[in-house]
Structure 1
Amino acid sequence: MVAMQIAIDGPASAGKSTIAKILANQLGYIYVDTGAMYRVVTLAALRAQIDINDEDAVTQLLPTIQITFAPGEPVQRVYYNEQDVTEEIRSATVTKNVSAVSSYAAVREAMTNLQRLIAQDAGVVMDGRDIGTTVLPQAQVKIFLVASVHERALRRFKENQAKGSNETLAEIEQAVQHRDELDSNRAISPLRKADDAIKVDTTGMSIDAVVQKIKGIITNIA
């Protein structure tokens, strides 16, 4: 199979990262966690005690931020200026603020350039909100992954419980709905399905079933 660019977009907690990681591993491709990149920028702003709503201040931080990935078990490791922040970028505080940070033009331009640079020389699986529409519009395979709000909230609730979080399912469901609204209505690169993307609804599906479905789509395109 010729190395391809595979773009997986969709709303929060639709299973994008989980599916993308498995696909990349099985295909021998590079996995690019674009969401983690925006989370690193958000974490950097929070650590610097910058007002998340101050776009200019957040933008000025960009030249000081280096983002790298490294293989890891059970998850790929994410580094901010050579410091492992894999777990910290998934905190509730970062999650609450990342949508605002990812809406800023300069932030998106910087991350998009880095993502395209990674994808230009190898087969990649890249997931996010605007991969098929903005970052890799020429990707050979475009998947738009969705699931019901309740199911997405339940997935996050179970993940948070394992980490000792006290956040309720109702609170998470409200946060997921709010994140959907922010991502879909932002002025720059809003969340939307590319015209040539294939919609896959993961509600009620196992991880393996979703992976097999997408691999079937890839095979048909290849």
Structure 2
Amino acid sequence: MKKITIAIDGHSSTGKSTAAKQLAKKLNYIYVDTGAMYRAVSYFVLQNRLIENGQVKENELTDHLEDIKIRFENNPDSKNADVYLNNVNIEKEIRTLEVSNIVSRVAEISAVRKKLVQQQQAMGVEKGIVMDGRDIGSVVFPDAELKVFMTAAPEVRATRRYDELIERGDDITFDEVLKNVLERDRIDSSREDSPLIQTEDALLLDTSKMSREAQLEQLEQWARERIPDGSEQ
């Protein structure tokens, strides 16, 4: 049976990646975390000192884009897809607050977005894909059969992110995390190239008071309503 394309956009720390990953498993679809791709580029920026006084050296980064090779590989232990940058597993490294603090600025750069959007569109040619990010429904897959926009109150999102970082052993305060969440919202929503928006045909999912189980249940319901004959095959 025909498969569909599912585009999930929204603010940071709304549970997009977790929900999208679980939905893909339910439907036996391919899951792509585009946020991890932008984080990989951001990690490259940090490692190569392409940032100064909080500003990304855009011209230098653009010159290095051909040197950035990103791929996903299944991790047999976690059962998830880890991110590799130039054949090195950087899954843990890209989840730090240091990367979070610059990823929205890196994502503002048109040359970076163009390169990654091309890769993302190529991944979805055969459909049967669940992709989450900031511009999936608006730019990457404007014709996706299911578009979802996920959001939650900033304080709720900051709490979720703070708990994750503390569990990892990071030395961070809640105020620092909340500041990061609000700043990323501002940059993502106001950038000139592919700003974060809820498209007119996207369904809104506010996860402020929803459990992960409830989020998955709602997403699966919407997906099966759009898959011909309710089949994922």
TM-score normalized by the length of structure 2: 0.93
Matches within 5 A, 1:126-145: 126-145=131-150
**Distance in 1 between residues matched to 2:226 and 2:18, nearest whole Å:** 22
Residue identity opposite 1:163 in structure 2: R
**Distance in 1 between residues matched to 2:177 and 2:131, nearest whole Å:** 25
Matches within 5 A, 1:61-76: 61-72=64-75, 73-74=77-78, 75-76=80-81
CA offset digits 1:60-94 (Å, max 9, x no partner): 11100111101124232110011000000111111
Contact 2:9 2:148 in 1 (8 A): yes
- The CA deviation at 1:167 is 1.3
Could you tell me which residue of structure 1 aligns to residue 201 of structure 2? 196
- The CA deviation at 1:53 is 2.1
Contact 1:149 1:173 in 2 (8 A): yes
- The CA deviation at 1:121 is 1.6
- The CA deviation at 1:221 is 2.3
Residue identity opposite 2:143 in structure 1: Q
Contact 2:32 2:129 in 1 (8 A): yes
**Distance in 2 between residues matched to 1:215 and 1:154, nearest whole Å:** 26
Could you tell me which residue of structure 2 aligns to residue 12 of structure 1? 12
Could you tell me which residue of structure 2 aligns to residue 27 of structure 1? 27
CA offset digits 1:192-221 (Å, max 9, x no partner): 001100001111111011000111111222
Residue identity opposite 1:56 in structure 2: N
**Distance in 1 between residues matched to 2:89 and 2:56, nearest whole Å:** 26
Contact 2:100 2:180 in 1 (8 A): no
| 2:178 pairs with 1:176 | no
4+ aligned runs moved over 4 Å, structure 1: none
- Secondary structure of 1:167's partner? coil
Residue identity opposite 1:59 in structure 2: T
Contact 1:7 1:126 in 2 (8 A): yes
Could you tell me which residue of structure 1 aligns to residue 230 of structure 2? none
Residue identity opposite 1:158 in structure 2: D
Matches within 5 A, 1:6-155: 6-51=6-51, 52-72=55-75, 73-74=77-78, 75-155=80-160
- The CA deviation at 1:122 is 3.5
CA offset digits 1:86-133 (Å, max 9, x no partner): 000111111111111110011000000000000002410000000000
- Secondary structure of 2:56's partner? coil
Contact 1:45 1:61 in 2 (8 A): no
- The CA deviation at 1:2 is 2.3
Residue identity opposite 1:68 in structure 2: R
Contact 2:42 2:106 in 1 (8 A): yes
Moved more, 40-49 or 100-109: 40-49
Instruction: Give percent identity, aligned residues only.
Output: 40
- Secondary structure of 2:6's partner? strand
**Distance in 1 between residues matched to 2:157 and 2:2, nearest whole Å:** 33
- The CA deviation at 1:48 is 1.0
1:161 to 163, 166, 190: 166
- The CA deviation at 1:165 is 1.5
**Distance in 1 between residues matched to 2:33 and 2:21, nearest whole Å:** 9
Moved more, 96-105 or 72-81: 72-81
CA offset digits 1:160-208 (Å, max 9, x no partner): 1111122111221121111100100001000000110000111111101
2:214 to 185, 209, 214: 209
Residue identity opposite 2:139 in structure 1: T
